Structure 1
Amino acid sequence: MPIDETESTTASANVAGSLDTENMATQTGTAPADLPPPGGVLNPRYRWVSIGMCALIMLSAFEALAVTTIMPTVSRELDGAGLYAFAFAGPLAVSVVGMVLAGAWSDRGNPRNALFASVGLFVIGLLIAGTATSMGAFVAGRLVHGFGGGALTVALYVIVARVYPPVLHARIFAGFAAAWVIPSLIGPVIAGLLSDTVGWRWVFLGVVALVVLAMLMVVPAMRGVHAPDATSERPPWDIRRIGWAVLVAVAVLVLNLAADVQGAVQWIAPVLGIAVALFALRPLLPKGTLRAARGLPSVILLRSIVAGTFFASEVYVPYLLVSQHQVSPTLAGLALTAAGLSWSAASWVQGRYPQITHRVTALAGAIGLSIAVASLLATAILDLAPAVVIVGWAFAGAGMGIVYPRLGVLTLEYSTIENQGFNSSALSIADAIGSAIALAVAAIVFSALGPLGGGWPFAGAFALAAVLCVAAFGAGPRILRR
Structure 2
Amino acid sequence: MGNGARPAVLAGGIITLEFAAAVTRFVGSTLLPVVADDLGAGNQLGLLIAGSTLGLFIALPLAGRVLHHLGARTTLAAGTVAYIGGLVLAATSQTAWVFALGQLAGGLASGVLGVFGVSAAIEHLDDKIRARVIAASSAMWILPALVGPPVILALEHLAGWRWTLLMPVPIVLIGRLLIVRTVRDDRPQKEAPRPLGRTLLVPLGAACIVLGGGWWPITVLGSVAALAGMVAIMPRGTARLSRGTPAALGAMVLFALGYFGADSLVTVLLTTGFHVSLARAAVVLSAAPLAWALASLAAARFAHRRGKRWFPVVGLTLTAIGTLVLAVQLALDPSYPVALVAWTVAGVGVGLAYPALYLMATTAGTSGFGAAELATAVITAEAIGSLLGQALGGAISNTGESGGLLVSYAVFGVALAAAAGAAVRSGEPGQ
TM-score tier, shorter chain, comes to 0.7 to 0.9
Matches within 5 A, 1:198-209: 198=157, 202=161, 206=164, 208-209=166-167
Correspondence for 1:118: 79
Equivalent residues in 2 for 1:211-360, closer than 5 Å: 211-216=169-174, 218-219=176-177, 221-226=179-184, 228=186, 233-235=190-192, 240-241=195-196, 243-258=197-212, 260-261=214-215, 266=216, 268-320=217-269, 325-328=276-279, 332-354=281-303, 355=305, 357-360=307-310
Partner residue, 1:472: 419
Indicate conservation of the 8 Å contact 2:122/2:363, yes or no.
Answer: no
The whole-number CA distance in structure 2 between the counterparts of 1:194 and 1:332 is 24
* Residue 293 of structure 1: how far off its partner (Å): 1.1
Matched residue, 2:61: 100
Evaluate the alpha carbon distance shift between residue 362 and residue 93 of structure 1 in structure 2; reply closer, same or farther with a 3 A threshold.
farther
Unaligned runs of 5+ in 1: 1-27, 31-42
Structure 2 equivalent of residue 420 of structure 1: 371
- 1:48 aligned residue: 9
Q: Secondary structure at the match of 1:481?
A: coil
Say if 1:189 and 1:334, in contact at 8 Å, map to a contact too.
no
The answer as to whether partners of 1:98 and 1:148 remain within 8 angstroms in 2 is yes
Gap change, CA 1:244 and 1:97, over 3 Å in 2:
farther
Q: How many Å apart are 1:311 and its aligned residue?
A: 1.6
Query: Cα gap change, 1:278/1:214 in structure 2, threshold over 3 Å: closer, same or farther?
Result: closer
Match of 2:397 in 1: 446
Give the equivalent residue in structure 2 for 1:367: 317
- 1:370 and 1:466 in contact (8 A); partners too: yes
What is the Cα deviation at residue 220 of structure 1? 5.3
The CA deviation at 1:276 is: 2.8
Q: Residues 71-109 of structure 1, C-alpha deviation per residue, up to 9 Å, x if partnerless?
A: 79999996569949x947x75454233123222333445
Contact 2:18–2:137, Cα closer than 8 Å, also in 1? yes
- Once the two structures are TM-superposed, the CA of residue 166 in structure 1 deviates from its matched residue by 4.2
**2-structure distance, mates of 1:420, 1:476:** 21
Query: Against the structure 1 CA distance between its residues 49 and 340, is the aligned structure 2 distance closer, same or farther, given a 3 Å change threshold?
Result: same
- CA shift for structure 1 position 462: 2.5
Cα deviation 1:394-442 (Å, max 9, x = unaligned): 2232222222221232234326997110111111111111111222222
Aligned partner of 1:10 in structure 2 is none
Counterpart CA distance in 2 for 1:258 and 1:93 is 13
Q: Deviations over 1:189-224 (max 9, x none)?
A: 656x669x949x85x853632332441463255132
| Residues 434-461 of structure 1, C-alpha deviations (whole Å, 9 max, x = no match) | 11122222222233x1xx44x4443343
- State the partner residue of 1:462: 409
Shift of 1:296: 1.1
In the alignment, structure 1 residue 210 sits paired with structure 2 residue 168: yes
Which segments of 5 or more consecutive residues in structure 2 lack a partner in the other structure?
none
Kindly report the root-mean-square deviation, in angstroms, between the aligned alpha carbons of the 2 structures.
4.0
1:290 match: secondary structure: coil
Q: 1:278 and 1:294 mapped to 2: Cα distance?
A: 20
CA distance in 1: counterparts of 2:325 and 2:208, whole angstroms: 31
| 1:214–1:129 CA distance, 2 compared to 1 (3 A) | closer
Give the drift of 1:474.
Answer: 2.5
Higher deviation after alignment, 294-303 or 54-63: 54-63
With over 3 angstroms needed to count, the CA separation of the structure-2 counterparts of 1:73 and 1:466, relative to structure 1, is: farther
Query: CA 1:301 to 1:175, structure 2 compared with 1: closer, same or farther past 3 Å?
Result: same
**Aligned residue in 2 for 1:23:** none
Shift of 1:475: 1.0
Deviation of the 1:289 alpha carbon: 0.8
In the alignment, residue 247 of structure 1 is paired with which amino acid?
L
Structure 2 CA distance for aligned equivalents of residues 141 and 444 of structure 1: 29
For normalisation by structure 1, the TM-score amounts to 0.73
> Hey, what does 1:411 align to over in structure 2?
361
* Shift, 1:155, TM fit: 0.9
1:137-195 Cα deviation digits (max 9, x unpaired): 7766654433332222211111212332444222222332333343344336656x669
What's the secondary structure of 1:436's corresponding residue?
helix
Aligned residue for 2:354, secondary structure, equals helix
Q: Give CA-to-partner distance per residue, 1:242-265, whole Å, 9 cap, x none.
A: x4333221123213445533xxxx
User: Are 1:95 and 1:147, in contact at CA under 8 Å, matched by a contact in 2?
Assistant: yes
Determine if contact 1:93/1:252 at 8 Å carries over to the other structure.
Answer: yes
Determine if contact 1:376/1:392 at 8 Å carries over to the other structure: yes
Is contact 1:292-1:478 (8 Å) kept? yes
Q: 1:221 to 1:66 in 2, by over 3 A?
A: closer
Q: Take 2:340 and 2:31, find their aligned partners in 1: how far apart are those partners?
A: 17
Distance 1:175 1:419, change over 3 A: same
Judging changes above 3 Å, is the alpha-carbon distance between structure 1 residues 475 and 217 closer, same or farther for their aligned structure 2 residues?
closer
The sequence identity of aligned pairs, in percent, is: 24
Q: Match of 1:288, as an amino acid?
A: G
In 2, the alpha carbon distance for the partners of 1:215 and 1:167 equals: 27
With 157-166 and 182-191 compared, the bigger mean Cα shift is at: 182-191
- Separation in 2 of the partners of 1:368 and 1:130? 42
What is the aligned length? 423
Q: What CA distance in whole angstroms lies between the structure 1 residues aligned with 2:165 and 2:368?
A: 34
Which range is displaced more, 398-407 or 116-125?
Answer: 116-125
